[in-house]
Every structure is written in structure tokens, then in C-alpha cells.
Copies of this chain bind each other. A is one copy, B any other.
Amino acid sequence: MENQVTLVQETVVLTPDGSTRRQECLAIEMPYTVALNDEEIGASMVLETALEEFGAGFLFGQGYITEVGQVREVLVCPEGRISVHADVDEESRPKEVIITSGCGGTGKISREMLEGAFDPLQEYTISFNEISDFIRQGLQSSSLGRETHCVHGCGFWADGRLQAYYEDVGRHNAVDKIIGAILLGKFSAAGAIYTTGRLTSDMVLKCARIGIPVVMSRTSPSSLGLAIARRAGVTLAAYARPDRVNIFHCPERIVQS
């Protein structure tokens, strides 16, 4: 079952010359709680797509799930609850948490995560032609961003093709859906992620923690987003367009042909 994710609303357009009526398309934002092994962990407003992936990715972002293979089952209840069942170690629960960059409902990070070491990344390179296809195919795969101006998109490219492209009312949630898909075994982390959102610390941190070697954004990183990319050895590419990227760290993974 596909959920309805937009609604149409009549608006009044005012200009110095007078007013006209117009129809606008709005993204539908819904509250969902996320539970881990029947315990409620948190809640978020979401766009109702890829909710299983979102549930798994949300718990990863919060530090409860830490690796691929832990999730056993995800049940989505349309009344607003995502129940994740996973083999997690009760001892390894996140401790002190920093709410991040005013955009961190699902991007909470702990000092442990910020200061800890990162596992080595898998070997991966991406060609400029692939980046071009990735961005074009990602943006063309949905018209929701253009229609509502109220969603962020996030795509994943690996093995020479677009593996997924998800959208959400939050830039974090869209990334969480990609990370959730990796946790659910839909594709491996050895690839490139592209987000329409800014790469603040929390965004780069969760990509680095799951082991994504190439992190790209349509827009910019923050200072701490860059600092985390350096520590983790992640390639950080900003202002990414089909014919241009600005590499802030580790250009070696991007090859010309």
C-alpha cells in the first residue's frame, strides 16, 4: 500500500499588483514513534515512504543499532508506530547525547561517537561519469521535491547503478532511510551517498559510522562535518552537480573516467 504523501491547497498570491489564486502542493508530515524490542525509543515527523528503512536508520542514528545484521524484523503500524526487533547488546546503549545542529531529531550524537575511532572503510572509487548519472537519475526519480519544496532527497550509488533514492520532510530522515536500507541488507555500504541537505556533523558522522566511503551533497558541509570526514577518511564532495563537484577531503576516490 502506497501512502498519500502530498495534498493540494489553494493559496492567495499577493503581489504589488494585486492578488490571484493558486494551487500549491504540500508534503504530508506524520508523527511516528520508533520502538526497539517493544521499548519506545523516540519519535519523529516523517514522510510516509520507506518506513521500515527509516525505523532501522533512526535507531542507528541514535546509537542503538550499530551494525548490519542486527535487525531481525520491522513492523510498521499505520497508526504511527514502527517496531524494530533487533539483536542488540543492552550494555552498548548510547550514553550522553548531543542534540545536533537544530536538525538533529534523528541525528543525535554522543561524545563517544564524536571522539571514538572509525573502522577502516571498504575500498571504493567512483568515476565522474557515474557521479553524473547518479545525480541525474536520483533527481529524476521523483518529482516530490520540485512539487512541494518541502522534502530532502537522498540517494545511494554502488556497483555502477542507483540503488535507492528516498525522500523525507527532514534531511536526516532521508539519510536514515538509506542507512536503514544498508542495515536491512538491501545493498552494501561500499558506495556513494548523495543528499540534497547540508553536511553538518551529525550527517557526516552517521555516514562514516556505517562505513560509506564517498559522501556527497548538493550543498555545503559545516566545519565539523569536514572535521569528521577527515578523521574517518571519508571523501567529502560538496556542491555536487552532474558536471562539477567540489572536493573538501580525499579526492582520490573520484576518478576521471
Contact = CB atoms under 8 A, between A and B. Distances in A.
A99 B172 CA distance: 12
A220 B29 contact: no
A130 interface: no
Interface stretch (A84-92, A101-109, A135-143, A185-193): A101-109
Contacts of A201: 29, 45
Given A200-B169, A246-B13, A246-B24, A224 B29 contact: yes
Contacts of A100: 44-45, 105
Interface stretch (A157-165, A207-215, A237-245): A237-245
Contact of A107 (B15, B105, B246, B251): B105
A98 B32 CA distance: 9
Nearest to A24: B246
A202 B42 CA distance: 16
Contacts of A63: none
Interface in A225-254: 225-226, 238-239, 243-248, 251, 254
B26 A99 contact: no
Contacts of A106: 99, 102
B101 A29 contact: yes
Contact of A176 (B9, B19, B102, B219): B102
Contact of A14 (B30, B224, B245): B245
B108 A222 contact: no
B29 A171 contact: no
Report which residue of A105, A128, A245 has the largest number of chain B beta carbons within 10 angstroms of its beta carbon.
Answer: A105
B98 A43 contact: yes
Contacts of A117: none
A42 B96 CA distance: 10
A53 interface: no
17 contacts: A12-B251, A14-B128, A19-B251, A24-B246, A26-B222, A45-B98, A45-B100, A45-B201, A102-B176, A103-B103, A105-B108, A148-B220, A149-B239, A150-B200, A150-B222, A169-B200, A170-B200
